[in-house]
Amino acid sequence: MHGVGGTQQPANLATANDSNVQTDKGFFGQLKVTVVEGVRNILSANYSSIPDNAKLASRNIAVLASALQPLVNESDNAGAKDSSQDFEQALKKASNNPKSLKLFSQINQELEKIQQLQEELSELYSTNDRLLRIPGAVNGPRYTEVKAQITECQNGMAGAKQKGTRAQQKFNKMVDPQLKIDFDALQVPEEKRSPESAKDVAKYEKMKTDLLKRQEPVGLKRP
């Protein structure tokens, strides 16, 4: 055999020893190639058909994923358990701090005041709408009285929100991250709550159950 481009002898690259296997022989350039008939059939087959071994591999992957699933679930459960324990520990720590208890009590008082004023304001709005449908009522004393009550409720809500927000900011600085609360989210009416605000309210209710019962009644002092 000479160098590249030199004279080369025909070479038989594949030999079929099985008499049942059909082969094709052809010349490509100066190389004599033998192709097994079965290989040619595979290459010319429709690619939409999936070989059996590929299906088997898919089944094996599915089995492996399902086998790992319990491990993932166990990890998630462990994380949730740790989070719950951290919350309880933070709650216990806050319950032993008089300043935290006082601030939380103030937050709760302002929230209750806002809720009460929201209910009163809703009724006043309804009364105002009815008066607007009565000819000449806007010039009467009742309409003037309702407008003044609406303004009073709005101012009361603004003051309660300001006090509650200040107390919340101080409270969040004193407690662990698990107990931090969002004062604005707690004011959202139930029918308008997002999943996030509903979660904040649920956490707050849990904190109320534990922290408010530890708050000393007003006017009582420890001996």
Whole-number pLDDT of residue 82: 60
CA distances for 101 relative to 58, 175, 215, angstroms: 59, 10, 6
Is 80 exceeded by the pLDDT of residue 216? no
Angle made by CA atoms 26, 32, 34, in degrees to the nearest 5 = 60
Domain regions of the chain by residue span: 9-44, 95-214
Is 70 exceeded by the pLDDT of residue 10? no
Q: What is the pLDDT of residues 133-185, one digit of tens each?
A: 999 999 999 999 999 999 999 999 999 999 999 999 999 999 999 999 999 88
**β-strand partners of 24:** 35
Mean pLDDT of the chain: 73
CA distances for 39 relative to 22, 45, 155, angstroms: 10, 10, 87
Poorest-pLDDT segment among 100-109, 114-123, 166-175, 199-208: 199-208
Rounded CA separation 18/128 (Å): 101
Between residues 151 and 47, the one the model is more confident about = 151
Whole-number pLDDT of residue 57: 44
